[in-house]
Chain A
Amino acid sequence: LAKTTQPISMDSYEGQEVNITCSHNNIATNDYITWYQQFPSQGPRFIIQGYKTKVTNEVASLFIPADRKSSTLSLPRVSLSDTAVYYCLVGPGLEAGNNRKLIWGLGTSLAVNP
């Protein structure tokens, strides 16, 4: 299971676009990239998952270059409520039974300021 590297913390302001980059040099051919969000005193919440190129949903976009050795989570026009820890995980996709053994790092603590 590939390990990931992401910034420990980031600061932003309301209304700005935030991009959090995750490095995963040892990503395997079958690995997916999954991002979770965690608020204080809550469990993580799934944000987005992708395999290559670009994925977009109502919450975020995920950009994955051709070599797949990194990925960028993009949060458009953040608000105060987006202050949370964001985790990048690499491994089996959501539907895979062994998805549970994904390696969770310490995540990126995003602070959105007024």
Chain B
Amino acid sequence: KAGVTQTPRYLIKTRGQQVTLSCSPISGHRSVSWYQQTPGQGLQFLFEYFSETQRNKGNFPGRFSGRQFSNSRSEMNVSTLELGDSALYLCASSLAQGGEQYFGPGTRLTVT
């Protein structure tokens, strides 16, 4: 069974731009969560989607948003990028809301 895939793996954007990251969960998994990982802050929870609905949300500004499609694939969007948004963005999927999560390799976003 294929693992969680994330595209693109690397991305360079400039301040003020927006970016969309994609995540394909493990087949059969219906929950997708997104995390931001930075050297200084560690890993921080952004939000979780289950059955196309956001079920859980971390403490990030409204510039960070996401959605989930009927096939459980998910996208997250960051608008008006700031230098501090440079990070590794990780996606994790699980069978249901709650339950063991399986992480993807992440998308490395650099904002210049």
Contact = CB atoms under 8 A, between A and B. Distances in A.
Interface of A: 41-46, 87, 94-102, 104-107
Given A41-B105, A100-B56, A94 B99 contact: yes
Sorting the interface of chain B by its residue count into under 10, 10 to 19, 20 to 34 or 35 or more gives: 20 to 34
B63 interface: no
A43 B56 contact: no
A94 B97 CA distance: 10
Contacts of A46: 100-101
Contacts, number: 48
A4 B79 CA distance: 32
B103 A99 contact: no
Given A95-B99, A100-B33, A87 B43 contact: yes
B62 interface: no
B105 A99 contact: no
Given A43-B90, A94-B98, A100 B45 contact: yes
Interface in B67-96: 90-92
B42 A105 contact: yes
